[in-house]
Amino acid sequence: MAEWVEQGRCLGAIGRASAWWIGDWVRYGSARYGDRYAAASRVTGYDVQSLMNMAYVASRFDAGRRRPGLSFSHHAELAGLKPEDQELWLDRIEASGLSVRALRVELRKARQRSAARVALARARLEAPPEPQPAKAGPPGPADAVVCPHCGHRIES
């Protein structure tokens, strides 16, 4: 039984590392020999798109930035982010133990919050400026306003 458990431990470690290894191997082959995805697909049995995904994730996290306690899938979810954002999320995942599924939910929420902030800022930029109280001009009530677009004076 102990031998079987140890074999399982080894297989798990190999399984968790294999996407990194394949991604790095494909990147090396492509850099050294040109586009090798079709050949790599025949050799490994993985489809070209899966190989491209593995190579992309491997390219976005050099070996020193890969977190061994987190899955390749965790890293894949963060691959499209800027490196500094990747680091923040990796730290957060390690601290909280987020599953890949929970990470997807949190990333979606963060993107929605970011999109809402951008939309609000854009709306503020595109909105006409608020009329300002008149500072100069012919005498009139203190609460008169001047249209910032045409200069028309509005008396209240």
- Among the listed residues 113, 133, 112, 115, the one whose alpha carbon sits nearest the alpha carbon of residue 123: 115
**Band of the pLDDT at 82, cuts 50, 70, 90?**
very high
pLDDT for res 6: 93
What is the per-residue DSSP string for 84-136?
Answer: HHHHHHHHHHHHHT--HHHHHHHHHHHHHHHHHHHHHHHHHHHSPPPPEE--S
Contact 11, 21 (CB under 8 A): no
153/147 Cα distance (integer angstroms): 7
Task: Tell which wins on pLDDT, 123 or 76.
Answer: 76
Rounded to two decimals, what is the model's pTM?
A: 0.73
CA angle 74, 75, 80 (to 5 degrees): 120
What is the per-residue DSSP string for 51-91?
Answer: HHHHHHHHHHS-GGG--TTS-HHHHHHHTTS-HHHHHHHHH
- Among the listed residues 80, 69, 82, 68, the one whose alpha carbon sits nearest the alpha carbon of residue 104: 80
Task: Tell which wins on pLDDT, 148 or 32.
Answer: 32
* Residues 138-156 pLDDT 10s: 555 556 677 777 777 777 6
pLDDT for res 136: 58
Token reading at 109: 């929420």
